[in-house]
């Protein structure tokens, strides 16, 4: 939604039974409502807060009591620091946990890491032999067997073991 009048965000709301005012306009990739104001994208929950409560101080976040990212009901919004936002996220278990196989940057599955560690612990295989088997560098295998590097997404070129 492009607007020169931020109050028009309230024209794009569906009110839910829970009291949330769900923004029906543009939604960001992270699930928050967005609108273009004077050529700049802005999160509509922040706009709604400012319209009701005034300017948001520098460095402050607008948090949701209801945990509904599309909600722009000013009664569901409150100010907090980044630390408050992080604490709120952890307390409500809304973290985007990307450890292990959930991390798209890692190269091996949890099962492959277990195999590498087992092979190394047996004393029958050197780190170089394990690296050759898994098409990895010896340094990477060293990190894995020492517990410094974690597992993750399976590489297409790996051989099934």
pTM: 0.57
Phi-psi region of 103 (alpha: psi -120 to 50; beta: other; left: phi over 0): beta
pLDDT at residue 30, as a whole number: 84
**Per-residue tens of pLDDT for the chain, all 161 residues:** 555 567 788 889 999 999 999 999 999 888 899 998 778 889 999 999 999 999 999 999 999 999 899 999 999 999 999 999 988 888 877 766 666 666 666 788 889 999 999 999 999 999 999 999 999 999 999 999 998 764 443 333 333 33
pLDDT at residue 31, as a whole number: 87
């Amino acid at each position: 939604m492009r607007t020169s009048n931020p109050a028009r965000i309230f024209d794009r709301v569906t009110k839910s039974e829970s009291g949330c005012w769900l923004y029906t306009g543009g939604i960001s990739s992270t699930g928050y409502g967005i609108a273009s104001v004077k050529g700049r994208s802005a999160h509509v929950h922040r706009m709604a807060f400012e319209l009701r409560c005034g300017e948001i101080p520098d460095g402050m976040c607008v948090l949701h009591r209801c945990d509904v990212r599309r909600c722009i009901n000013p009664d569901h919004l409150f100010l907090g620091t980044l630390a408050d936002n992080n604490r709120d996220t952890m307390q409500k278990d809304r973290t985007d946990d990307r450890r292990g196989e959930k991390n798209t940057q890692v190269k091996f599955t949890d099962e492959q890491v277990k195999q590498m560690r087992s092979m190394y612990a047996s004393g029958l295989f050197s780190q170089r032999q394990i690296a050759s088997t898994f098409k990895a560098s010896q340094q990477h295998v060293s990190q894995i067997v020492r517990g410094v590097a974690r597992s993750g997404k399976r590489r297409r070129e790996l051989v099934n073991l």
